[in-house]
Structure 1
């Protein structure tokens, strides 16, 4: 694609100066049952909505229209399980058959437009079928990460009040199988009973089936394959653009999830626009988002966006390392001719830790990889440099949130590829008026850190509200800085308009009146050649209020005396940040505590070190890491209460 200099600036300014014309033009990429006559509805500001008089069906836009356009034999979904060895692909025709018939299963089970359906599945292609099947008949899906504990699953069910639950006999991890059905049964026992039907996809590798529970209680337990064989296809229903498509519960670094609501129309328009203008992926090209359907990345860029664009999407069951080795991602890129790979920095750091020289890359042809996009956690410059040197394709950091559903800041490769600045997710995406303000909402000068906010209205595709209601939405996001959406992140804009996101605002450390960002300190620690990953938190200090405490993991095979390492890391922080950081504490860990999506649990770490009551988020990837953390902190002579 040929890009003209200044294309980004022209596009960005057009989106802010005349959003009505900009987004109506973008809406032409979507097939409507009733075309919208206007884009933005301001009647309930600050609770804005998009395309209020438009009607469409998201499933039709993701599947049916590509078949109608004559591209039915193009691959739509590639599935690849490193756990079972099963690999295959469905064309758009095959996907349409599966989705329409599974929508018929839901209809036969009494699921109607507006009903909620919980999806609790592993990374198998049926997860895509289940989501699209709900969208086809206007049911609102709520995907819960497969393997969540019964109490957490029940909490989401109690909030969403679903009539059906779609699950599998279990998921497969590198060292074990996780049986889902006992978890589902326990969750049902903890709720007040809106579920009428449970549909179970049997996996021969995991024990349990619908028949094991069919005689229990008032809930009908159906076998997926048997119900599918008996079902006829369901036709799509026409929905208002403002009707909800899904509820997704946030559960990152905090313990209290919120139900984010996404609409149909704005979501389809924004994601279709993003595929062309951010990722530069079009019909017939392959995009792989190495995430999970339980997270927003999985919703947006495993399921909906690639299919809305008529591209081919990859759904992968496996890990970046250990399934079987640190070359797993490069195998998938090679075998499936991936043009754009999207993953989290934590996945890259895991590969770097196991394979610092990228020796596993040598056996795979990744020359077709046009770009590697990263999001979910700040991309530190050291990991950027490692990937940039080894992969020989653009390494594109970009920043967004579950709430926004797509990128707030990115390098817009489909509009105009801009120079990459390591440590920055580049520039605000068209539609997002990003600003940096102080605690009173006053603008901060370029290069000066503050609160990152977005002037309202948010563009299409962002959350339309919270399932808990309008007051909950206002209180959570719109009251801290009136007229703005509060991102909860801190950072700065430089003289070129590039954004740097340094961390959550509650991760800013106040050392004797000096405000230091965790990102800045972690970047300094990452310069050490032995360090694979670093996390910095602020802990209580009787003299300074807070002090910075660092936690690091080491690259695979590295042997270094911890006393020497600590001294070298303290010097690095002094050299890069200055003595004002008063940095002295470093703890060496085998693993950092993280959510399954790769976010480091800094708040939980701080609570542990400060001896505060801790509720570990249910999204933690490996609960045993907390015990390792407590033991390591005690070895470092921190005073921890005996009960921690």
Structure 2
């Protein structure tokens, strides 16, 4: 990088798969004070071009191919498509050619070969930077208008990550840690790359999926082979394993002798998935909650500080030291315990949290700090119990207004997922002439379920009525083969809400399989 003019403060876009070379690039940027912007490897040309134009990188680093369960991802053609659109072209493109996956030609004068450059590389001293120097820009998904590039300051982030590895996750240096995420997301930045390495932990880098590479036993194999002590994944990944292998029979052949704690985050974890995980993995399973903006946990069971490993089901922990989490109503007033409201953090934010949005300070102020002055608005909804445990139910915009009653989509999903036949579900608001909106469930059944769908829906409706009450007005649902999800496992609720209401909807570029929307449309027509 230095040989090609990359200096402190320059941006480097990294567009690469889940391979060690991606981590090497991140660490190289950190060493010389360059600001990396890692872009998730599955992004198509248009989204990639928007981010390149916004970051204005001096150098782009990419790989020849990515590997998915049924296909190769052609990074070079995706990048070429993006570069054809951009105003701000990089000086050079550094390409890592993955062995045994096929040849890619280099563009003369622009492209550099990874192995050739490595052979010429000189030793490079660490470049000192101020503690608030940006380490990276991470673009959050579903951006409209100016891209939302979260800026992470270097010093506070390093201190916070090192502290959380022991305080939150309970690890000693020398132990093996695995965060089953992607380097392109915040979990990958914090807990595949920087956190474990700062704390002296071996970090597992896994290019596969929870299922299909080759089967639902893959996670168990990795945990056993690498003697992982603590593991971090998403509820979506666990539900995928359970859907294909309800008894976890494939996992039983592996001995997980070093494994002691499983952490989940990324979305609300329903109690049924939590209990299944405890039974199958035979370790404490702890939900915790954070955001791209925070960079690490906002609430958690800090087991390194002696917190309980058996907290109440459904919670996502208590405020992590440094975070003062509160629940406010729409009038900016604190609410009573167990009352649904807006989750906010009293300012100031602790070290490690974002310091701004790249070249977009106006949105930074307006989006996060305007609605609740003196607080950071997480834009999530939930409640706190008397003991200070937080229950995150949904994004604030996922609260369904049913005839003036604010009903959490997450609370209804919890009831739906409790049914033994349901593997996954999404509850969204469907427009209703009388009540404004009513909850509508899209359910995915487990493999091999023979019960009639009508009967399953009746049982779910009854459970919601018992647990949440008639006020939820929940009566409608359909059964589909799968749900549309972003590559980070999030459900596009606003698009689904528009779809079930018969309105035009937008499919964002982060959706993994856009054809699922057509399938849902067909099921809706039949019903």
Whether the TM-score (by the shorter chain) exceeds 0.5 is: yes
* 2:226 corresponding residue in structure 1: 336
Question: For 1:260-279, what aligned pairs fall within 5 Å after superposition?
Answer: 260-279=150-169
CA distance in 1, matches of 2:36, 2:402: 45
* 1:300 corresponding residue in structure 2: 190
* 2:7 corresponding residue in structure 1: 112
CA distance in 1, matches of 2:443, 2:143: 19
Structure 1 unaligned residues grouped into runs of 5+: 1-105, 637-644
Write out per-residue CA displacement over residues 382-432 of structure 1, whole angstroms, 9 at most, x where no aligned residue. 001111112111101000000000000000010013241111111110000
* 1:395 corresponding residue in structure 2: 285
Q: 2:171 aligns with which of 261, 265, 281?
A: 281
C-alpha deviation, 1:336, in angstroms: 0.3
C-alpha deviation, 1:367, in angstroms: 2.6
* 2:413 corresponding residue in structure 1: 522
Write out per-residue CA displacement over residues 287-315 of structure 1, whole angstroms, 9 at most, x where no aligned residue. 10000000000000000000010111010
* 1:463 corresponding residue in structure 2: 354
CA distance in 2, matches of 1:252, 1:334: 36
CA distance in 1, matches of 2:506, 2:60: 27
Report whether the alignment pairs 1:360 with 2:250.
Answer: yes
Q: 1:610 aligns with which of 501, 517, 523?
A: 501
Write out per-residue CA displacement over residues 51-106 of structure 1, whole angstroms, 9 at most, x where no aligned residue. xxxxxxxxxxxxxxxxxxxxxxxxxxxxxxxxxxxxxxxxxxxxxxxxxxxxxxx0
1:304–1:445: structure 2 CA closer, same or farther, 3 Å change rule? Answer: same
CA distance in 2, matches of 1:624, 1:390: 33
CA distance in 2, matches of 1:207, 1:560: 48
- Asked if structure 2 preserves the Cα contact closer than 8 Å seen for 1:252 and 1:595, the reply is no
Question: For 1:84-483, what aligned pairs fall within 5 Å after superposition?
Answer: 106-209=1-104, 212-215=105-108, 220-251=110-141, 257-418=147-308, 419-483=310-374
- Asked if structure 2 preserves the Cα contact closer than 8 Å seen for 1:455 and 1:483, the reply is yes
* 2:521 corresponding residue in structure 1: 630
Aligned CA-pair RMSD: 1.4
Write out per-residue CA displacement over residues 326-369 of structure 1, whole angstroms, 9 at most, x where no aligned residue. 11000000000000100111000001111111111211011311
1:252–1:328: structure 2 CA closer, same or farther, 3 Å change rule? Answer: farther
Write out per-residue CA displacement over residues 184-238 of structure 1, whole angstroms, 9 at most, x where no aligned residue. 11111101133011111111343342xx2413xxx61011111111111211100
CA distance in 2, matches of 1:421, 1:468: 42
Write out per-residue CA displacement over residues 473-497 of structure 1, whole angstroms, 9 at most, x where no aligned residue. 1011000100000000011110111
CA distance in 2, matches of 1:160, 1:256: 11
* 2:484 corresponding residue in structure 1: 593
Write out per-residue CA displacement over residues 142-178 of structure 1, whole angstroms, 9 at most, x where no aligned residue. 0001121000000001111111111001111111111
- Asked if structure 2 preserves the Cα contact closer than 8 Å seen for 1:376 and 1:400, the reply is yes
Structure 2 unaligned residues grouped into runs of 5+: none
Give the SS at the match of 1:190: coil
Give the SS at the match of 1:245: strand
Report whether the alignment pairs 1:489 with 2:380.
Answer: yes
- Asked if structure 1 preserves the Cα contact closer than 8 Å seen for 2:11 and 2:36, the reply is yes
TM-score by structure 1 length? 0.80
Higher relative contact order (CA 8 A, sep 6+): 1
CA distance in 1, matches of 2:516, 2:16: 25
Give the SS at the match of 2:212: coil
Question: For 1:547-626, what aligned pairs fall within 5 Å after superposition?
Answer: 547-626=438-517
* 1:44 corresponding residue in structure 2: none
Q: 4+ residue stretches of structure 1 with deviation over 4 A? A: 252-257
Question: For 1:4-23, what aligned pairs fall within 5 Å after superposition?
Answer: none
1:301–1:252: structure 2 CA closer, same or farther, 3 Å change rule? Answer: farther
Bigger Cα displacement from structure 2, 558-567 vs 171-180: 558-567
CA distance in 2, matches of 1:492, 1:610: 28
* 2:428 corresponding residue in structure 1: 537
CA distance in 1, matches of 2:190, 2:397: 27
CA distance in 2, matches of 1:129, 1:612: 46
CA distance in 1, matches of 2:143, 2:450: 31
